[in-house]
Amino acid sequence: MSQPGAADTFCEECNQHYRLGRARAGQSLKCRRCGHALRHVPRQPLQAPLALAIAALSLFPLIFCFSFLGISQGGNTTAIEFWQTTSGLTEGYYYLVATLLVLGLMLFPLIDLVIIAYLYGQLALGHKPEHAKPLLLVHHQLRMWLMVDVFLIGVLVALVKITAYADIQFGLSFWAFCLFVCLYLATLTSVDRHYLYQQCLGPLQTVNPAPNQPLWPCSHCHQLNLEPGRCRRCQASLQQRKAGGLERPLAFLLAAVVLYIPANVHPIMTTSTLGVAEPSTILGGVVLLWQLEDYPIALVIFIASVFVPIAKMIAIAWLCWTVYRRQPHSPQEMTRMYRITEFIGRWSMIDVFVVALLAALIQIQGLANVTPGPAAVSFAAVVVLTMLAAASFDPRLIWDHCADASHG
Ligand SMILES: [Zn+2]
Ligand SMILES: [Zn+2]
């Protein structure tokens, strides 16, 4: 007999099964085996996300209606609006980077916030939201592609680079964007996925499998299922492990390694001053910044564009190799490495955003202009491919050859 309010679920990182009782507000539950946060019960699960999402959404028009940034040098002034941050990326294959910017900065955050505001708004009115299942799925999938915080750091880096050569004017849209990023991050932090699923789809159900009966965990709503096919709670398709095994992360990794060569050999941008073009590679840019004694910026670019991508590729290769050899030295350490790899994935995009912004902003007729180089496309592809490699790696594979998962 299960106690009232009990629910069967599992740890998405090590597959340990748990029968959880009713949790108190403010309580945090961690997996005993791998330390993954199973859930944190927020004190205000409904009001905080709704208020924050509405506040963030209300800033959206302000970001697009006013001037974002302007620079002036020698009597020449250039100003851009927020949507024009992609204007330097319209030719050739640069539109791929521009698409990434438009999706990660504008479209996905808007869709995500509308979904959050709609779901929580309906719940606040006492209604069960319609189409909750696909909306929750979209909200879950969009998370890894949101780039607003990375872009803000990229903007700050670009501004520090420019400030030595030109005066900068901050438009109303810039301040609205800074506030938007803070509110959006606060919204995402306050959203409790388990609460949302519980309110929209009903509570997790208990399962009573026969001894040695395989269970089918749902990676979206965390319901354990006795039958394969579709989740009985959220209708998502069920898989014991992420599709593709080790082949998929390895394929993404191999493509990233191949593209990392042109990303470093070709220039990432070309600066033309008074008609003299000066192409610079990623590493060349870091060296130049160091020589100009811009140590903090040189360090940020070095960490984001050189250290992190290489460390990420080595980490994914190491994870795949140890799983393949079935000899995880320390599953806890390997899981921690996986978490870090997944977390830092987006941050390598800083240099690409710096180039995009400089190319949009520095267009001073006859005096100076910046154009993106082919490495911007290859490097953006490397970042996306390593993100896909980390996302397609299933950390439960690390634990599969340890002691069998048991009920907690
Ligand atoms: Zn775990
Ligand atoms: Zn489900």
22 in any annotated domain: no
- State the distance from the centre of ligand 1 to the C-alpha of 73, rounded, in angstroms: 56
- State the distance from the centre of ligand 2 to the C-alpha of 242, rounded, in angstroms: 14
Above 60 in pLDDT, residue 407? no
Ligand nearest to the CA of 133: 2
Collapse the DSSP code of 251 into the 3-class scheme (helix H, G, I; strand E, B; otherwise coil) and give the result. helix
- ∠ CA 336-337-338 to the nearest 5 degrees? 90
- State the distance from the centre of ligand 1 to the C-alpha of 34, rounded, in angstroms: 4
Q: With bands split at pLDDT 50, 70 and 90, how would you rate the model's confidence at 405?
A: very low
100 in any annotated domain: yes
200 in any annotated domain: no
222 in any annotated domain: no
Residue type, 211: P
Above 60 in pLDDT, residue 1? no
Average pLDDT over residues 261-275: 88
- State the distance from the centre of ligand 2 to the C-alpha of 252, rounded, in angstroms: 27
Other CB atoms closer than 10 Å to residue 229's CB: what's the count? Answer: 10
| C-alpha gyration radius of the chain | 24
- State the distance from the centre of ligand 2 to the C-alpha of 194, rounded, in angstroms: 11
Owning domain of residue 316 = 42-191+241-399
Identify the pLDDT of residue 3: 59
Q: Residue by residue, what is the 3-state secondary structure of 142-173? A: HHHHCCHHHHHHHHHHHHHHHHCCCEEEECHH
61 in any annotated domain: yes
Kindly state the greatest CA–CA separation across the chain. Answer: 81
Q: How far apart are CA 111 and CA 247, in angstroms?
A: 32
210 in any annotated domain: no
230 in any annotated domain: no
45: left (phi over 0), alpha (psi -120 to 50) or beta: alpha
Identify the pLDDT of residue 4: 58
- State the distance from the centre of ligand 1 to the C-alpha of 187, rounded, in angstroms: 26
pLDDT tens-digit map of 132-188: 888 998 998 898 899 999 999 999 988 988 887 788 999 999 999 999 999 999 999
Identify the pLDDT of residue 377: 93
- State the distance from the centre of ligand 2 to the C-alpha of 237, rounded, in angstroms: 8
Average pLDDT over residues 312-323: 93
ipTM of predicted complex: 0.93
- State the distance from the centre of ligand 2 to the C-alpha of 200, rounded, in angstroms: 12
- State the distance from the centre of ligand 2 to the C-alpha of 223, rounded, in angstroms: 5
- State the distance from the centre of ligand 1 to the C-alpha of 32, rounded, in angstroms: 7
Identify the pLDDT of residue 406: 44
pLDDT tens-digit map of 227-247: 888 998 888 889 888 888 899
Report the domain count for the chain: 1
Sign of CA dihedral 112, 116, 121, 122: positive
- State the distance from the centre of ligand 2 to the C-alpha of 39, rounded, in angstroms: 16
Ligand nearest to the CA of 395: 1
Q: With bands split at pLDDT 50, 70 and 90, how would you rate the model's confidence at 392?
A: very high
